[in-house]
Amino acid sequence: MLFTESLKKNYQFRFVYNKGKSIANRYLVMYVVKNNLDINRIGYSVSKKVGNSVVRSRVTRLLRESYRLTEDRLSCGYDIVVIARSAMKEASFAEADGSLKHLLKKHKLLKEI
């Protein structure tokens, strides 16, 4: 991930939840807040409600890959938290990719080329 670091600490996630703006669709909820840096920081949250560890890992991999493929078209300077909903366990890569791009467009982070 060229322009992106991971959110790892609980206080980082809490800050984004408390200060960020959220938009949701069928598969995902996305919180976004400006971070005043020239990089993006992203964190993924996949609850046990989504499924067992195999399913949760698959969902996380789908989201990471989808983000990796669109990261060069994103505006910089944001903290992003992506939360997977339980419907995500049956989603294909195309559905996960479309869902993530939809939320990025709604937050006005995705630049059209």
Report domain extents, the chain: 4-106
Residues of the chain with pLDDT > 70: what percent?
Answer: 96
Give me the mean pLDDT over the 91-110 stretch: 93
| Calpha distance 109→32 (Å, rounded) | 9
Residue 58 has pLDDT above 90, yes or no: yes
Give me the mean pLDDT over the 50-72 stretch: 94
Domain 4-106: CATH class, spelled out: alpha beta
Which helix H or strand E contains 6, and what residues bound it? strand 4-6
Q: What is the structure's pLDDT at 112?
A: 72
Give me the mean pLDDT over the 2-17 stretch: 90
Q: What is the structure's pLDDT at 1?
A: 56
Q: What is the structure's pLDDT at 2?
A: 64
Q: Do the bridges between strand 40-46 and strand 28-34 make them parallel or antiparallel, or are there none, so unpaired? A: unpaired
The two three-digit tokens of residue 20, written as one number: 């960020």
